[in-house]
Amino acid sequence: MSVQDNAAGERQADWKPSDAIKPSPLFAWPIQPFATLKWLLLYPGYLLPWTAFYATLSAVTWLYLTPDMATMKTFNLRWIAFIFARNLVSVVLVIGAWHIQLYVRRAQGANYKYNSRWPAKDNAKFLFADQILENIFWTVVSAVPIWTAYEVLTLWAFANRLIPFVDWRSHPVYCTLLLIAIPLIHEFHFYWIHRLIHWPPLYRTIHYLHHKNVNPGPWSGLSMHPIEHVLYFSGVLIHWVLPSHPLHAIFHLQALGLLPAQGHVGFERVVINGGASIHTGDYGHYLHHKFFECNYCSELVPLDKLFGTFHDGSKEAEELMYKRFRTRRQQARPRAE
C-alpha cells in the first residue's frame, strides 16, 4: 500500500486488495461448474447481496411506485413528474447514504479507502471549485432527467404494446432468467459504449468530464456529460426488441442509475456494527480512473481480458501501465530541431 498525506496532513496508507482481481468463473474455460454455482448462489457473489437487493428494490418500485398501465398509455405531466420525483428521491437516498456514511461522517476514516485523500475542494477544474458539488450538479441536472426520459418512453411503449411485452405470470421462468441476466447484458453494452467514448475526439469533448474524478466518490458515478448519459442509459433499449416486462426495464434503469455510486464509492469495504464489514467497492474501476486505459467494464464479463485492457491490480500490471504512460509522453514530446 502506498502512503500519502490526507486532507488533515496525516500520513495514511492507500488501501489495495491483497489478491489480484480475478474474472468471474462464469466464462472460465474449462468450465468450472461448482465454482460457478458458488459464485451465482452464495454470499458474496453474483446474486448476493447486491443483485438481489436492487432486484427487490425494483419490484417494490414497480408494484407500489409506478402508475398503472392504463394511465401510462398517454403522456401526462402528472405521472411523468411522479416518475422523475421518484427517481430523484431514490438517487438522493441511495447515493446520499453512501456519501453521508463515508464522506460526511467519515465513520471509518480512510480505512479500506483506495485513495486516502478526500474529494477536491477549491479546485478550479470543477464547477463551483468543488468536486462533490459538480458531481451532484451533473447527477441531478442531467442524469436523472435523461434516465427518466428513457423510463417514461419505455413504460409508455409497454402500455401501448408498441414493444414486445411478456407477462410474468404466463412466463415466470423466462422472466426470472432475463431479470438475472440484466447485469450481464449491461456489462456487454457498457464495455463498447465505454470504449467508444475513450476515442480521443469523444474523450476530449464528452468523457473528460467524468474522468476529472481521478479520486472518485459516490456522487462521481453519474457525473457525466449529457451526451454520455444518453449513451449510458441507452442500454434499456434492449427491452424494445427483447420480449420483456416493465419490471425488467425498471430494474435495468435503476441498476444504471444507482449502482454507479457503489462502483465509485472509493472504499473496498464498509465497516458495520461489531467490526464486521461488507464488500462494496470496485477496485477494478478505481484503477480505470487512475490509469484511464484499462478495465472498461467489470470482471463480470471477460471483455477486458479478451481485448488486452484488463488490469488485475498486480504490481506487474501497474508497472506495465506506467511504462505505457512513459512511452506516450516520449512520443508526445516535440522532436529536437
pLDDT mean by block of 10 residues, the chain; 337 residues: 46 80 90 94 92 97 98 98 98 97 94 93 95 98 98 98 97 98 97 97 97 96 98 98 98 97 94 82 92 92 93 87 74 56
pLDDT at 321: 81
pLDDT at 333: 65
End-to-end CA distance of the chain: give it in Å, rounded.
43
**DSSP 8-state code for residue 216:** -
C-alpha cell at 111: 480505512
Give the other-Cβ count within 10 Å of 176's Cβ: 12
Distances, alpha carbon 158 to alpha carbons 84, 146, 212, 233, 277, in Å? 18, 18, 38, 18, 41
pLDDT at 32: 92
pLDDT at 159: 98
C-alpha–C-alpha distance, residues 302 and 24, integer Å: 8
C-alpha–C-alpha distance, residues 114 and 192, integer Å: 26
Widest pairwise Cα distance in the chain:
75
Task: Give residue limits of the domains in the chain.
Answer: 50-188+200-276
| DSSP bridge pairs for 12 | 4
Distances, alpha carbon 215 to alpha carbons 7, 172, 211, in Å? 13, 43, 9
Q: Say which residues have a Cβ less than 8 Å from residue 128's Cβ, sequence separation at least 6.
A: 134, 137
Q: Are 221 and 264 in contact (CB under 8 A)?
A: yes
Return the H-helix or E-strand segment holding 154. helix 144-159
C-alpha–C-alpha distance, residues 29 and 43, integer Å: 23
C-alpha–C-alpha distance, residues 71 and 75, integer Å: 8
